[in-house]
Structure 1
Amino acid sequence: MNELPLEATRFASSPRGAQLARRLAVRHMEDWGHPPASDASCAVALVVGELAANAVQHGRVPGRGFSLRLTLDAAAGLVRIEVADATSVKRPPTVPPASHPESESGRGLLLVDALAVRWGSAPRHPVGKTVWAEVSV
């Protein structure tokens, strides 16, 4: 298998941290041969942006940030995105929540669902959760 994993990078649990995570993802996609304006890079950037924003908004624990890990599986044509935060939830997301058509938020996981081949979440030990998505490249 031709995998190129990256060590998890930690970010502050803030809007700036989410922005930096997205920029880092675009830079790695470019290193892997997918220019910033390519469909693959844009899809990965959007998914990273949504998952990081959710980690900041819903997974924030004072004094703890979130982490981003990317893995390219060139043979399978997939980039795996993992965003981990320190909040444990009884039932992590497995399907996009229903949102009201006129609401200003609540559509992030719908976007992830549309762009990812598959996605899900898992508990993180000793504390927290990881939300992951796999995007075709």
Structure 2
Amino acid sequence: MIVWDEVHTERVCSGGALDVREIRARVRRTLAGALAGSLDGFDLDDVDLMVSEIATNAIRHSASGRPGGGVWVTVLVSRERLRVEIEDDGGSAGRPLIPVQSAGWDESGRGLMVVEGLAERWGTLPGGDGRHTVWFEVAR
């Protein structure tokens, strides 16, 4: 069982189009504050990439991408690991899955494969009203 030292949750939304860069920047600021400058050992480039992939999926495949839409972002931190959760606004046709097969030239469909390859652990959680949370964990 992991005991998280800090848990930060915030809603990221926009009156217009939700910006993946803003979500990524907020996660990075939260981590910098939570870890008090002690980010050594975490590959934050990998964290940025995974946040981008999950946020992009939420915007593309759920009501999070509609005007006024948003995501709930939770960052959990312990001395040896961190976890990021992104919950969409629901309204998708299905749940987040890694595609069984993707053609070589497809422009999409690999985001969760990237997360699976970079995260120590990851998964999805169903929520109420058709919402979904995609999370990942990395260790120092």
Quickly name the TM-score band, shorter chain normalised: 0.7 to 0.9
Q: Does 1:108 align with 2:115?
A: no
Q: Does 1:79 align with 2:111?
A: no
Check the 8 A contact 2:63/2:91 in 1, yes or no: no
How many angstroms does 1:130 deviate by? Answer: 1.0
1:48 alignment partner, one of 46, 51, 56: 51
Please give the alpha-carbon distance, in whole angstroms, between the structure 2 residues aligned to 1:80 and 1:49.
Answer: 14
TM-score (norm 2): 0.79
The residue aligned with 1:136 is 139
Q: Count residues in correspondence.
A: 131
TM-score (norm 1): 0.80
Check the 8 A contact 1:8/1:69 in 2, yes or no: yes
Structure 1 residues 101 and 82: alpha-carbon distance in aligned structure 2, compared to 1, 3 A threshold: same
**Unpaired stretches in structure 1, ≥5 consecutive residues:** none
Q: In structure 2, the residue corresponding to 1:42 is in which secondary structure?
A: helix
Structure 1 residues 131 and 30: alpha-carbon distance in aligned structure 2, compared to 1, 3 A threshold: same
Please give the alpha-carbon distance, in whole angstroms, between the structure 2 residues aligned to 1:14 and 1:135.
Answer: 29
Check the 8 A contact 2:86/2:135 in 1, yes or no: yes
Give % identity: 27
1:10 alignment partner, one of 9, 12, 15: 12
Per-residue CA shift, 1:56-79, capped at 9, x if unaligned? 0011254432121111122xx221
